[in-house]
Structure 1
Amino acid sequence: MARRLLFAILLLQLCFALAVAGLAVWLGGLWGWSGPGWPAALLLGLASVVLVRLVISGNNFRMARRAGGAMLPQHRLTAPAFLRMFAAEFAASMTLQSWTVLRPRTKFHLSGKDAATPVLPVLLVHGYGCDGAYWSRLARLLRQAGASYMTVDLEPMFGGIDDYAPQIEAALQQLCAATGKPQAIVVGHSMGGLAARAHLRAFGSARVARVITVGTPHHGTALAGFGPGLNARQMQRNSEWLAALAASEQPATRALIVSLWSHHDNIVAPQDSARLPGAGNVELAGIGHVALGSHTDATRFVLDEICRISHSFVVTETK
């Protein structure tokens, strides 16, 4: 469903660009001048789409900054650094929504040497309003590292987060059976991290070696109020669902989780909502929400953590 919706949004943007181009040509003829011509008019239309997307992205940063409270001096960005971060986040968002999600992708990759490789298989869980294509960068790194992985497309798109737990369990069963490994590492971006925690509550940790959450609003986000669906309401600040999830977790469950987050997240606000007590917490700076899935620092940490967890698992198994 996410792919169809994003494709529909892409078509809507194309229609908007064509409408702007047609309007420019029509106004040129109406006012008695040659106008920009269709090639230039089409460029104008595409530029209009980019401008609208820039405004939306800028507004997200503005709202997240206002909801985030005071920024500690060591995390404040200079104007050039902020512009670089904004450009990277905008590029990541545009690439994901206008190109990556529309391309064919490998949802299930077996390394071909599962019995020999020390790297545990990885289940990749996307966030709100997206699908498994979000992980294209990390998936490529996992293939290079010789790891098996699987992406899951959570359905329904705007359903309750608890509805995703059985889908994660089914994917884990399939991944572990195919690789011959008893457990896998779950990596969840944004809402995907909450879905991974909901899975632990419903099914336990028998098939889960570790959960790595990336930019996950563990305590909710002020921007969730602008999204449709039950899952968006569950991610609102101080929601009953988040409180019940936290109350259900034992210290041993939290110890399985590593939370990676950015002080400059433009969707999770306040940004430290991603800090989860009792879990391992890793802070980054100068990275936006969508860019966490492709930024070198974030993907390097996730890959290193997967290798570290896998090594610990192998050492424990051989004792």
Structure 2
Amino acid sequence: ADVTILVHGYLTNGITWDRSGIVATMAAHEWHDGGPLMASYQASPVIQGVNTLYVVELPFNAPLMVQSDILQEQLQHAQLRHPDEKIILVGHSAGGVVARMTLVRYGARQVTHLITIAAPHLGTPLAIDGLKITRSSGPFNFVKKIAGGDAYDAARHSRALFADLLPARPGTELFWLNSQPHPDISYTSVIRADYDNIVPAASQDMNLVPALQGKSAIYLTPGSHYLKSFDGRVVLSLLE
């Protein structure tokens, strides 16, 4: 049996995989919903011989390194629960980069496949915009504080993550990550081919990561950046 761990992206949490219909789609194809994967969570007993699906909860606005430390703790918990099973990581958006960073920093161990969906492996121009908008200087700062509301507050608390997701060039976090040796496992880039206005399609292709040239399979999908139930069918097809 196998274990699949679903890693959410920015401004979302583990519930996003339920709301989008992905968990239900996979559960209908004999993947047991193991719930949230947390060391403190009293998870149901492992069912032997059954494919198990977990979601993780990460602090979505934390820097990539911090999120990858937390993901590694949760991965270790999964490995203790399933010592003899293969693990597949599926990351959406920034969660795909967090998952890749975790594999690079800590090694793959039981992980045999990384699937990323609409992930900004080469960064996103929106990170530049996010840093500009949340600069605590300039003539409009008091207006931003009054008019910004929750969205502005969330962005203001995400500056370190925005810096991590700047387009990859020397001196950036992604430039460093993309030049590190990567584990010898399977990689699949699920790319939004047409209507993703958050992450450019080219940035979603792990083959353009210098350390992974030519090593990632590609799966083109229609639609916007966000998760949809169709992604459940895509993941199922990639796990066959």
Residue 285 of structure 1, CA deviation? 4.6
Matched with 1:169 is 72
Across the two proteins, how many residue pairs are aligned to each other?
182
Matched with 1:299 is 232
Q: Check whether the contact 1:160–1:231 (CA below 8 A) recurs between aligned residues.
A: yes
Q: Check whether the contact 1:213–1:259 (CA below 8 A) recurs between aligned residues.
A: yes
Q: Check whether the contact 2:192–2:220 (CA below 8 A) recurs between aligned residues.
A: yes
Matched with 2:192 is 262
1:181-192 mapped onto 2 (5 Å cutoff): 181-192=84-95
Matched with 2:55 is 151
1:270-281 mapped onto 2 (5 Å cutoff): 271-277=201-207, 278-281=214-217
Is 1:123 equivalent to 2:5 in the alignment? yes
Q: Check whether the contact 1:193–1:214 (CA below 8 A) recurs between aligned residues.
A: yes
Matched with 2:122 is 219
Residue 295 of structure 1, CA deviation? 4.3
Corresponding letter in the other structure for 1:235: L
Corresponding letter in the other structure for 2:222: G
SS in structure 2 of the partner of residue 121 of structure 1: strand
SS in structure 2 of the partner of residue 172 of structure 1: helix
Residue 213 of structure 1, CA deviation? 0.3
Is 1:247 equivalent to 2:183 in the alignment? no
Matched with 2:15 is 133
Corresponding letter in the other structure for 1:268: V
Q: Check whether the contact 2:116–2:188 (CA below 8 A) recurs between aligned residues.
A: yes
Corresponding letter in the other structure for 1:214: I
Please, which runs of 5 or more residues in structure 2 have no aligned partner? 32-51, 131-154, 208-213
Identify if the C-alpha distance between structure 1 residues 285 and 152 changes in structure 2 by more than 3 Å, giving closer, same or farther. closer
Higher helix share: 1
Bigger CA drift: 209-218 or 168-177?
Answer: 168-177
Please, which runs of 5 or more residues in structure 1 have no aligned partner? 1-117, 309-319
Q: Following the alignment from structure 2 to structure 1, what is the Cα–Cα distance between the partners of residues 11 and 181?
A: 26
SS in structure 2 of the partner of residue 305 of structure 1: helix
SS in structure 2 of the partner of residue 266 of structure 1: coil
Identify if the C-alpha distance between structure 1 residues 179 and 238 changes in structure 2 by more than 3 Å, giving closer, same or farther. closer
Calculate percent identity across the aligned residue pairs.
25
Q: Following the alignment from structure 1 to structure 2, what is the Cα–Cα distance between the partners of residues 201 and 161?
A: 12
Residue 301 of structure 1, CA deviation? 1.7
Output one character per residue of 1:100-141: Cα deviation in whole Å (capped at 9) or x when no partner: xxxxxxxxxxxxxxxxxx3x1111100111111111122112
Q: Following the alignment from structure 1 to structure 2, what is the Cα–Cα distance between the partners of residues 285 and 139?
A: 19
Residue 241 of structure 1, CA deviation? 0.5
Q: Following the alignment from structure 2 to structure 1, what is the Cα–Cα distance between the partners of residues 193 and 102?
A: 27
TM-score normalised per structure 1: 0.53
- The alignment yields a C-alpha RMSD, in angstroms, of 1.9
Corresponding letter in the other structure for 1:218: H
Higher strand share: 2
SS in structure 2 of the partner of residue 242 of structure 1: helix
Matched with 1:73 is none
Q: Following the alignment from structure 2 to structure 1, what is the Cα–Cα distance between the partners of residues 83 and 22?
A: 22
The structure with the larger Rg is 1
SS in structure 2 of the partner of residue 131 of structure 1: coil
Q: Check whether the contact 1:215–1:274 (CA below 8 A) recurs between aligned residues.
A: yes
Q: Following the alignment from structure 1 to structure 2, what is the Cα–Cα distance between the partners of residues 281 and 217?
A: 16
Runs of 4+ in 1 over 6 A off after TM superposition: none
